[in-house]
Amino acid sequence: MTTFQAAPAVLAGETAIVTGAGQGIGRGIALALAAAGAQVAVVGRTSSTIAAVADEIVDRGGRAEAFVCDVTDGIAVEGLVSAVVEEFGALTVLVNNAMSPAHGLLLEVDEQAYRGAMESGPTATWRMMRASHPHLRGGGRIVNLGSAAGIRWDPSGTGAYAAAKEAVRVLTRTAACEWANDDIRVNAILPLANSDTMEEWFRVEPDAAAGYLATVPLGRLGDPETDIGPAVVFLCSAASRYVTGHTLAVDGGQALVR
């Protein structure tokens, strides 16, 4: 796989936290930020996976450290932010990616799964933003991950998940307005990326998967590192200095958000 190569040092001197960075989209974003010159705090619940991503960044010549944290634990979140600042000396970028899924029809979805999605999604995002705010003042950037499930005309089967992701977008817009005077920019992305789950679905239900892929104008799923990651790099760079409170669909044109 071709790795993402950012413009030289576009994020040099930046320190970023990426939650849920042990795999998938979070891993891709962490690698892309590092390629752009940022120091990366690779955050997740499983020490082995986040350590592997941190090692991958270091092997490529970047700087990264793994931090085990359950973002549904408010005390752990406070400790995480303090530990990152102590390790790197600053915090300038926050990417809220971690979230537990909650799929199924509204009459079928388990209440524990619903609460888990809310706790790991909007509540954890709110906690992470509040804990990071003092360190982000004066030029910090936040990128939160939403989902196209929240803007589909029919979110049947994904309603609980979509509700959590839309709550994240509301928090994004609110923080963008409330913290503009603190010189903190806050944006969201709606990613569509390949994953182990997607690959399994394509294998098990090829016709359904092909029909889904046909709704993507560019005709393919995004790569977490080379397609999704660069969008986050852009939103964290000076190139987007006049962009805040925005939702950017990074999905090959599927959502056609305007």
Q: List the CATH number of the domain containing 80.
A: 3.40.50.720
Residue 190 lies in a domain: yes
Which residues carry out catalysis? Answer: 161
Contact 249, 190 (CB under 8 A): yes
The confidence score (pLDDT) of residue 96 equals 98
The confidence score (pLDDT) of residue 196 equals 80
Question: Residue 131's closest CA among 169, 175, 187, 165?
Answer: 175
Q: How far apart are the first and last CA of the chain?
A: 31
Residue 4 lies in a domain: no
The residue to which tokens 């970028």 are assigned:
93
Contact 253, 217 (CB under 8 A): yes
Residue 87 lies in a domain: yes
Task: Give the total number of structural domains in the chain.
Answer: 1
Residue 7 lies in a domain: no
Q: Is 38 helix (H, G, I), strand (E, B) or coil?
A: coil
Residue 134 lies in a domain: yes
Residue 38 lies in a domain: yes
Contact 228, 170 (CB under 8 A): no
Is pTM beyond 0.85? Reply is: yes
Residue 185 lies in a domain: yes
Domain with 122 in it: 15-250
Q: What does each of the 258 residues of the chain score in pLDDT, given as a tens digit?
A: 566 665 568 999 999 999 999 999 999 999 999 999 999 999 999 999 999 999 999 999 999 999 999 999 999 999 999 999 999 999 999 999 999 989 899 999 999 999 999 999 999 999 999 999 999 999 999 999 999 989 988 888 889 999 999 999 999 999 999 999 999 999 999 999 998 878 887 888 889 889 989 999 999 999 999 999 999 999 999 999 999 999 999 999 998 754
* Two structure tokens written together for 58: 């270091």
Residue 207 lies in a domain: yes
